[in-house]
Structure 1
């Protein structure tokens, strides 16, 4: 046996696995092969998205399923023994393990992150029979971590396994293990920051499950501020708790249950008799998990903080995608620095979250402003205040019907060009705006509404019919509603996996709120072909993407102590009012001194703007009601529309697909000569096509942008190197004119001539697969191997003929495209 000729798979099965198994590793319980840690980043251009291919870790070794210990990266024997060490280090970083092995079947290079602490070398070489046993690695790991016997009783508890392939992803496992480890050290205030759509609730369940099964936390409270954030976990992620679990309703805490799920509104209220949490003792709960902790519990003076303070002895875990950090409100001040952070950028890079493209639309009245003529009244006869109204005013203090119509027309046009059935959320400034937008969209889509009157629905806190459709909107299997107009109700807690279009026609200054809204589109659903989403921005909200804090580490801003907070201070965005009712709402406290609304995120009813609210009365405007002016007959036009893409650095770039392709190709090939040489040398052109596709060159999008008649070779030469292209048909005809077929038999000439026709129709990928011989007209000549043998003498000779045919197709390609 020539070891140098063995494949990587053979090296693993014949040398590496026997070496590992010989030291006592359990094949069924402690060893996993081909562990896929990432899903592959989605690249989007035009209306096409594709995943980049990702490699899997060859072997991962575990102490228990919840405790990965080591990574083994294998290479074929023709490579040096340590060839895979850097790749292994990358996988080890994701799994947060200290032991990395690389092997080519001759031995191992062992990278041991625990060694320097004891005076050892970071990397050593081991023979095949020196591979460490499970106990050896586990002992080294425990010493490295400094675990006590008591800590191990927390740490070694397995996560919940439902018997399927579902297991925590690498970042979820890190979040779970780091949280359990922190609790085992006695830490009782813990913050987890994880981007929307990456499974915070599932992560929270696994933490709670492990602590509950280990009998470390016997009574657990999962706390949120909306019923949807409780009902969904109860019937999904938290379901394994079974009969031990209950939802708190009717302001009653039933001590017979161990796991309680409840919303703040069911546990407390402004009146003492509404404070249901006081029905049990302060030490009743051992663990409290606070979902979306950036909202009601973030502020020291929040009405809901008293629940957390009452159960101060409990371990409290805050979950959020957007930690609240302002001068006066801080999650970090309460919970401490995050024990783990998994950002939106990381989620997109790993392929667990969908990237986005932004279509920014600038409207002339938004950019230039609008001023009434002297004495002009609105549609209701109200005298319009004489000033310049700008983008922040529209649909808050001034309604222009033509502007609403233009926004609705732009949304409708986009959906008709792309997918009229794409789930869409339109974020408006208030309930009235959401209703007017619904009406405009209904009138612009009569055919769709005739098919189903729920094509467009207003889903706001004041509308029971709309709220009742929220579940259907979130359900990928339900086609309707397609378009939801809303204000605040759908900014969070809406798990709409198949939402493909987010429309921003709302003034958004809050980074927290912006992140939450964007999170409505970041979920991926491969089954329903949801790999990316579009943001249609009418209010310049997406400028927040350029903020360095958009996807940065949470940094504590607040410097005041809780005792320094003065009543009435604080950032009101997203907080929960002390008199909120038991409902599905998030209603912030209203703290403003102006009669006119000064923040788009404030006074709300059921999560949306309350137009009847007159604001606090001042000496200057005693009892003056807030008036929203409503006008028609204004000429409104789009000034500009530009498309931006999420680039490899996590930034938005304004770039055509041609520009993106040019840069990508020029990174791979130094010059036209370099490219044509490698193209001609390639045994199969498909390998280069696939390589570029994996770098984000989406051929379908490029064909849509340039021409569907060009071969990938000509597309590359034309786009990247400014060469005049030839169509596939022209290349095929040039081959026929040279009449090089004459050296082949008559039957072979017939096959080659038909292959040229296939090339002209579908490209080089079509003729490189022998499966082409299964379709017409080849299927009338016999089976593929029969054709290869009769016409060319065998498969080897047929493959050689294909190589020569490609050479003729790209004749002189190294001299001129």
Structure 2
């Protein structure tokens, strides 16, 4: 049967008309295309959506055809439509994809001809199928329109690095690399790349370095980071293909006469001597420069990459800026997820406007970054606590009479029961979900982090007995904790599970498997807040991490409502307009993000008040679950139980309606599955309400219709008192007795499944087939189960 063009599907149009027209001019190696067999043309992973505890992915974005100059440079998108649409119908979709992929030409076709949008000229036109442009035509138009220099052509022709352990760049990484290389080839010497945490800044930096070294445009590269872990991660992971030409600078051992034999150098630009990262050992800018002068001349490096450039290099009087100015002849690239733009500090002032930005919102929308939900825990003192007249702390010291707020807790006053309640809530959540879920607890001070470690240790003693590193404090002054950092961030290492910290884990550390972030410190800096949220944004789908949870005890997540959360990067309007100087700590202008070890007494010379449970009893009054979109916009915010009640009542308008639906359900698990579609996990909610011994039937009736619940044991015992069982004897009676005991322990869903008959204690009765015979056959067995269910639920609450 021969189909007319109007009857053909889109795939038919592609196969018979569009593909032949493109292949007539293009080499197949320069084309990726979506076909029913070949699906590798997706360029996003598909956004992850959270509904309660249920996660799902949207479809990824896929282009019908992507045409490449080479493996590193796409030049055109072609979108296909069936012949019932016009030639230009797919052009808007092609333009959307072209803008995402940073390509200059977008085409669409329905098999009758092509429509084109040229991003260089802004013009659109249509032409016949045999007039589709060749690679040479597009290349010439691209070169002429963009005024490509010989240096640019050199980097365009140089492909990305590909190797066995190196994944192909994602579209935004390719964009970032190509934009950066183009700017460098055109002579730009200060560049800023803004990419959200978890989007592969270091991998992007490696591809930039690789292609510049391969083309010979750069020969000596310095990669600056402010923490040992960031340097070591980079060398061992993303920069591994260059390991033979990499050197980690050691100022106490290196010699000027031998150090020049490498191509890529890694160095700390905060603590330039030794392995410790205590702020007390940070040297003056003059000492830092002297160390570099001892090894390198001013023009030694022709490329410098500044990792996490928001931390020190943004500030004009910082040690780090002095190093950059010493090597001022080198091209310098600042990389950060959170550029710092304040009245006194500016990345843009030094590096210029970003050559490329990829935000957390874009990462979440594309499915490359994990979405999140927020649990706000409200205590009875969240609005503040005031001591009674003359009240003394546990050591007999009188407590200053004033209102203490979240800003004071654990800094100016210690409320022991508050710490215990926070630790208990964290433990409760992990017990309900996954006790091996990697968790970071951000605390106000290092002392607070140690106290939280002890509380969590004691509340999880059963887990600590299995491994003493279940809970570890990882802070700047804790040598043991820092020695466990690599294990904490490792995907393959189970322990430590919970890390309590102050500032050390707020930036940089690649915490791929973190599923729970606990906020128990006040945060006012948007930069720091973004960095902390970034600790959870990495996805590890194979290991089961699709989203993460933020548990907030201080209403820090109010910052999601701030326009700065994921807004455009703009220089502060008053930058440089005031001669005032902000206080500079021992870190020489590090932005105040070093570890906080201060005791912060409320009155100088007086000890910090310590109030025990008798002096201040703290209670968790309620929790609110909030779901945000990637822009920080609140999608919904409801009390957990209210959310459950409203969704149940949407599905079952009255108690009688629910009971009828429950009775009619062939398998009761269908009710549970239906509620899961609304994001309601009954088991988790029952655990949260300390009602694990209650049947789902009773729990639903209790939550939605205010009925007093019976426990499973009470329901089972009511059945055992009735005559229902007396009509069965022998094996059949024993099986039913055993099923009732199973119901007491596990619930209705298990006894509905015939697979339960393969487990103890049913194995003593023989195979499931033999057990069915004891009832008179398979149908009679199912009738008995149905009758048992009816008896169980005759006693509705």
What TM-score bracket applies, with the shorter chain setting the length? 0.7 to 0.9
1:276-425 matches, within 5 Å, as 276-278=291-293, 279-374=295-390, 376-425=391-440
Alignment check: 8 A CA contact 1:303 1:576 kept: no
> Residues 409 and 156 of structure 1: is their aligned pair in 2 closer, same or farther, counting only changes over 3 Å?
same
The answer to whether residue 106 in structure 2 is matched with residue 100 in structure 1 is yes
Residue of structure 2 in register with 1:202 after alignment: 203
Is the aligned partner of 1:543 residue 2:540? no
Relative to structure 1, the CA distance from residue 558 to residue 114 in structure 2 (aligned partners, 3 Å threshold; closer, same or farther) is closer
Distance 1:256 1:111 in 2: 49
Hey, what's the Cα distance between the residues in 1 that align with 2:285 and 2:366? 48
Give the distance between the partners of 1:450 and 1:414, measured in 2 at CA.
Answer: 20
Between the aligned partners of 2:681 and 2:516, the Cα distance in structure 1 is 24
User: Structure 1 residues 56 and 399, CA, compared in 2 at 3 Å: closer, same or farther?
Assistant: same
1:701 counterpart (679, 691, 696): 679
Q: 1:577 aligns with which of 544, 568, 587?
A: 587
Three-state SS of the structure 2 residue aligned to 1:87 is helix
Aligned positions, number: 647
TM-fit CA distance, 1:653:
3.5
Partners of 1:178 and 1:340 within 8 A in 2? yes
2:265 alignment counterpart: 260
* Partner Cα separation in structure 1 for residue 44 and residue 399 of structure 2: 57
- Report the Cα offset of residue 150 of structure 1: 3.4
User: Are 1:162 and 2:172 counterparts?
Assistant: no
With over 3 angstroms needed to count, the CA separation of the structure-2 counterparts of 1:551 and 1:97, relative to structure 1, is same
| 1:594-621: CA deviation from partner (whole Å, max 9, x where unpaired) | xxxxxxx57x6xx23233x889xxxxx9
Shift of residue 46 of structure 1? Answer: 1.4
Q: Which residue of 2 aligns with 1:644?
A: 626
Alignment partner of 1:112 is 2:111: no
How far has the Cα of 1:697 moved from its partner? 11
Partners of 1:208 and 1:162 in 2: how far apart?
16
For residue 702 of structure 1, report the CA deviation from its aligned partner: 5.2
2:216 alignment counterpart: 215
Report the alpha carbon displacement of residue 323 of structure 1 after superposing the two structures with TM: 0.7
- Whether the aligned pair in 2 keeps the contact of 1:30 and 1:65 (CA below 8 Å) is no
Q: Distance in 1 between matches of 2:222 and 2:413?
A: 45
Q: TM-score, normalization: structure 1?
A: 0.74
Q: 1:28 & 1:238 partners in 2: Cα distance? A: 28
- Cα 1:58–1:271 change in 2 (3 A) is closer
How far apart are the structure 2 equivalents of 1:662 and 1:405? Answer: 30
Q: What residue number does 1:132 align with?
A: 133
Query: What residue number does 2:246 align with?
Result: 245
Residue 50 of structure 2 aligns with which residue?
A: 44
**Which of 495, 504, 507 is the matching residue for 1:489?**
504
Change (3 A) 1:558 1:318: farther
Alpha-carbon deviations, 1:729-774, whole Å to 9, x = none?
A: xxxxxxxxxxxxxxxxxxxxxxxxxxxxx9xx99xxxxxxxxxxxx
Q: State which of 80, 94, 101 in structure 2 corresponds to 1:88.
A: 94
SS at match of 2:419: helix
Matched, 1:629 2:612: no
Q: Give the equivalent residue in structure 2 for 1:269.
A: 283
Q: Distance in 2 between matches of 1:55 and 1:41?
A: 10
Show CA shifts across 1:677-717 (max 9, x none).
xxxxxxxxxxxxxxxx9xx997272585999999xxxxxxx
Residue of structure 1 equivalent to 2:145? 144
Normalising by structure 2, what TM-score?
0.76
Contact 1:333 1:558 in 2 (8 A): no
* Aligned 8 A contact 2:442 2:521 in 1: yes
Report the CA distance between 1:378 and its aligned residue.
2.4
- Residue pair 2:375, 2:624 contacting (<8 A) in 1 also: yes
Structure 1, unaligned runs of 5 or more:
117-121, 579-586, 590-600, 616-620, 665-692, 711-717, 719-757, 763-775, 778-817
Q: Could you say if the C-alpha distance between residues 514 and 526 of structure 1 is closer, same or farther in structure 2, counting changes exceeding 3 Å?
A: same
Cα distance per residue 1:249-291 (max 9 Å; x no partner): 2344622211101111227932856532113111111000000
2:60 partner SS: coil
Deviation of 1:483 after TM superposition, in Å, equals: 0.8
CA contact (8 A) 2:316 2:345 kept: yes
Alpha-carbon contact 1:412-1:441 (below 8 Å) kept: yes
Deviation per residue, 1:92-138 (Å, 9 max, x gap): 1111112111122232222222344xxxxx33222221110001011
For residue 178 of structure 1, report the CA deviation from its aligned partner: 1.2
Distance across 1 between alignment mates of 2:376 and 2:51: 16
1:609 aligns with 2:602: no
| Cα pair distance change 1:63/1:51, threshold 3 Å | same
Q: CA deviation at 1:64?
A: 1.3
- Deviations along 1:430-465, one digit per CA (max 9) or x if unpaired, are 111011111111111122112222111111112122
SS in structure 2 of the partner of residue 28 of structure 1: helix
Residue 464 (structure 2) pairs with residue 449 (structure 1): yes
Query: Which residue of 476, 484, 488 corresponds with 2:491?
Result: 476
1:67 maps onto 2:73 in alignment: yes
Judged with a 3 Å threshold, the aligned counterparts in structure 2 of structure 1 residues 506 and 213 are, in CA distance, closer, same or farther, namely same
CA contact (8 A) 2:33 2:63 kept: no
* Deviation readout 1:206-226 (Å, 9 max, x if unpaired): 111111111111100000100
1:351–1:660 distance in 2 versus 1, CA, 3 Å: farther
Distance across 2 between alignment mates of 1:661 and 1:206? 48
The gaps in structure 2 that reach 5 residues or longer are 274-281, 648-672, 687-694, 698-703, 705-748, 754-767, 770-797
In 2, the alpha carbon distance for the partners of 1:73 and 1:518 equals: 37
User: Residues 61 and 332 from structure 1, CA distance in 2 versus in 1: closer, same or farther, beyond 3 angstroms?
Assistant: same
Between the aligned partners of 1:97 and 1:528, the Cα distance in structure 2 is 34
Which secondary structure does the structure 1 equivalent of 2:531 belong to? helix
Cα displacement (A) at 1:239: 1.3
**Aligned mates of 2:166, 2:54 — CA distance in 1:** 30
2:83 corresponds to = 77
8 Å contact kept, 1:476–1:498: yes
Which SS does the other structure have where 2:383 is aligned?
helix
- How far the C-alpha of 1:472 sits from its partner, in A, is 1.1
Quote the residue 1:9 is aligned against: 11
